[in-house]
Structure 1
């Protein structure tokens, strides 16, 4: 977090005045302060607010308004103390402008890059032939040794309550909840555990199963088939995927069409990137 954000918070949280009332219609060009002839506008303030960390954006509007305006006034006063723009600042501003304009171009491109037909086609490609996936709702009791696990199986076969035994005996984090692991699908559990669950009927209890965590006694509470998601379920994910592919293609085409020259600099010592002293020469 930059220091000027900390400064803004210090300023803003000391201000309790009401949100200023403006008789004129507000626009981005409305002047909210004038510092030695330099105008600060509503547009400057909107941009400054958008760049704040999320926690500061939660502050009340009246606090933010006065805090941001005060920050911009003080930054302007300080910036007017020198007429020389350091090379590091000049280059930083060029980089920021380049990145900002690239962002604008990206947003403009991806806004129209994906059609409903493209979404439907990708959805069918990914999900049309997908078989329903089995999901499991299981509980387990985790202990340190096989002997303890075998003793648990004996107790359960004798009619002991699984959840109560889990609360009493399990060393795992699910123990206080009766050993319940909730619903999970293939690949979400370590393989020996998953293999044991897949081999159980609903309501059945496993023989002891060893994993890197210890010895488990598992009960498959229930299972179900999970259908493929609907298009609406995955619309956002598929849109992002299509946008990314389209954008990469677009950037490649633009770069190939551009006149890009890379001078022959010989063998480059890449550590030059750390030499900030060059910016003061």
Structure 2
């Protein structure tokens, strides 16, 4: 067995040699890679199997992975030939898988047709054409333990003291050594009392003492601005997902309106019956 690979579940068997085949000059999905008691395993079967493998298998060298997967498929075929029919449970799982794959095909076709550069641009324009931006604030503060200390510092500031210098000398907050600078922030990022004080200030103005759960603050509004609309590439994936969700939901709604859907009442049991595995284990 190739180093770094493990056998697929329930197939840890001794390797068996495939029947020799004539070389194909132009392989396609129908190209036969092995015949097991007459049943064919094609290149298409192998490609579909590899495409569904976990990432850890795909890290193997191509020649190693090719031989390994084909060998597993041969062993599966040998074991599968020992059964004439699927059990009820497995037959139901196969029906579920077919239903799911068909739905995926429909979804893929819908989204591939809907997601175009033009559609993405239109979605971007619709979402941001009237974008007014949100307020952002650049503020500094001095944090102290008591109202008396805050009033004392406010008096010094009113007399012309330097805000950053007083912050470095007196603020107990982590921004103190940086002159109390907090940088830019938007609404909802600060506690309500602090945010309210900031919003009420004009550029360059210093607040009266403001109490929060952290202590007493003197707040200075350094600057104010509006956020800009994001570049299209920044929100492209979000727009793609929105387009996909809308086209899928629209198609589901349309099909639902056209369909005749019946939901007979479940009699003699409640929803917990879905856990009774013995009903499908025949």
Instruction: Tell me the TM-score normalised to structure 2 length.
Output: 0.65
Aligned to 2:7: 7
Aligned to 1:276: 277
- C-alpha change, 1:192 and 1:23, in structure 2 (3 Å) is farther
Aligned to 2:124: 123
The answer to whether the 8 A contact 2:24-2:31 is kept is no
Q: Could you say which structure has the larger radius of gyration? A: 2
Residue deviations 1:34-63 (CA, integer Å, cap 9, x gap): 333332222222222222233433343333
Aligned to 1:250: 251
The answer to whether the 8 A contact 1:138-1:182 is kept is yes
- C-alpha change, 1:202 and 1:278, in structure 2 (3 Å) is same
Residue deviations 1:64-109 (CA, integer Å, cap 9, x gap): 3233223222322332333331111111011001100111011112
Could you tell me which runs of 5 or more consecutive residues in structure 2 were left unpaired when the two chains were aligned: 12-22, 154-161
Aligned residues: 256
Question: Secondary structure, in 3 states, of the residue corresponding to 2:40?
Answer: strand
Q: How does 1:207-218 map onto structure 2 within 5 Å? A: 210-211=212-213, 214=214
Residue deviations 1:202-226 (CA, integer Å, cap 9, x gap): 8999967645xx5697898876542
Q: Which moved more, 1:219-228 or 1:86-95?
A: 219-228
Query: How far off is 1:23 after superposition?
Result: 6.6
- C-alpha change, 1:113 and 1:169, in structure 2 (3 Å) is closer
Could you tell me which runs of 5 or more consecutive residues in structure 1 were left unpaired when the two chains were aligned: 12-21
The answer to whether the 8 A contact 1:8-1:67 is kept is no
Query: How far off is 1:273 after superposition?
Result: 0.3
Question: Secondary structure, in 3 states, of the residue corresponding to 1:7?
Answer: coil
Q: How does 1:1-281 map onto structure 2 within 5 Å? A: 7-8=7-8, 24-113=25-114, 119-135=120-136, 146=145, 159=165, 170=174, 184-192=185-193, 194-195=195-196, 210-211=212-213, 214=214, 224-266=225-267, 268-281=269-282
The answer to whether the 8 A contact 1:140-1:216 is kept is no
Instruction: Tell me the TM-score normalised to structure 1 length.
Output: 0.66
Residue deviations 1:134-177 (CA, integer Å, cap 9, x gap): 445779999xx936xx79x97x9683886x999x985xxx99x9
